[in-house]
Amino acid sequence: MIKITVVLMICAFMTVNCSNPPIIEPELSSDMESFVSNDSIPAIHLESEILDDANVKPDYDKKIRVLEYRTRYLDSVYFELAGQFKSLEKELNDIKSPASKYASGFSGLNNSEPINDEEYRARYIDALANYQNGIYDVATKEFSQLIAIDQHHELSDNCQYWIGEIYYDQKEFMKALSSFQQVLAFPGANKSDHAQFKIGLCYINLGDTDKAVDAFKLHMINYPSSDQYNSSKKYVEKY
């Protein structure tokens, strides 16, 4: 009887403990305890925002400086390219001018101020060289300028004669005829012999054989010792 009573008491005790189990609280680390205590969560969040702002600002400043450097570099490149463009544009304009490469050698081409005999002869030689090299425009201007400077110089009629030869070579026979006729107007012209003969050739090329014959006959009369005398005689006999 006693054993039965003890067993019943043990069962009753176990039943009570099972219906109300003990509450076991989890252990918290010291960091967790500080995190959940004393309203620390809002404070830490605010401090994090402040640190983030402090770190972001220097990044923006750096980016701004980089953009400024890039802008300055692009500006320098732009101005360099603009300068190169201007230089190329100038070179292109020089190329478009056909006589530009000869201009340096004829800086006094449009200057009709008096010059001494030595300079006159030097420029005459330059003009003659241009004619022989086929630079007709420059040679014509130079010969004309020399005539304007001093039409009484002993080479002035030579200048007029070579102008006629330039027109003759270019088959501009009317202009050539006029130029050769002007040679005869120079007193004591040393090229009058050749000019008279060329007048006859101009008339032949213009189709006026009658005037050509008259020109050749005049050449034979005025210049009987000319080395072109026989040529004039042949043209007279031919026409």
Contacts for 36 with CB less than 8 Å, ≥ 6 apart: 28
The tally of domains found in the chain comes to: 2
Helices and strands: H and E segment counts in the chain: 11, 0
Sign for the CA dihedral angle at 225, 226, 228, 229 comes to: negative
Q: What confidence tier does 80 reach under pLDDT thresholds 50, 70, 90?
A: low
For the segment 35-59, the average pLDDT, to the nearest whole number, is 47
| 121 shares a domain with 90 | no
Report yes or no on 16 lying in a domain.
no
Return d(Cα 130, Cα 159) in angstroms, integer.
13
Instruction: Report which secondary-structure segment, H or E, holds 199.
Output: helix 192-205
Q: Are residues 221 and 149 in the same domain?
A: yes
* Confidence (pLDDT) at 193: 96
As a whole number of Å, the end-to-end CA separation of the chain is 182
Q: Is 136 in the same domain as 201? A: yes
Position 56 pLDDT exceeds 90: no
Q: Let me know whether 120 and 88 are in one domain.
A: no
Evaluate if residue 234 carries a pLDDT over 60.
yes
Is residue 83 domain-shared with residue 181, that is, in the same domain?
no
With respect to residue 6, please indicate whether it lies within any of the assigned structural domains.
Answer: no
Amino acid 113: pLDDT: 76
Which tens digit of pLDDT belongs to each residue from 133-148? 999 999 999 999 999 9
Are residues 141 and 234 part of one domain?
yes
Residues 75 and 118 both lie in one domain = no
| 100 has a pLDDT exceeding 50 | no
19 in any annotated domain: no
Q: Which residue has the tokens 């039409």?
A: 151
Residue 35 lies in a domain: no
Which residues are CB-neighbours of 130 under 8 A, at least 6 positions away? 102, 136, 138, 139, 142
Average pLDDT of the segment spanning 96-120: 58
**Residue 231: inside a domain:** yes
Which domain does 123 fall in, by range?
112-238
Among residues of the chain, what percentage have pLDDT more than 90?
Answer: 51
Q: What pLDDT is stored for residue 10 in this prediction?
A: 47
Do 177 and 126 fall within a single domain? Answer: yes
List the CATH number of the domain containing 208.
Answer: 1.25.40.10
In this prediction, residue 94 carries a pLDDT of 57
For residue 28, being part of any structural domain is answered with no
Shared-domain flag, residues 118 and 90? no
* pLDDT at 165 (0 to 100): 98
Name the residue type at position 72: R
- Alpha carbon dihedral 66, 71, 77, 81, in 10-degree steps, equals 160
Q: Are residues 182 and 72 in the same domain?
A: no
* pLDDT at 227 (0 to 100): 95
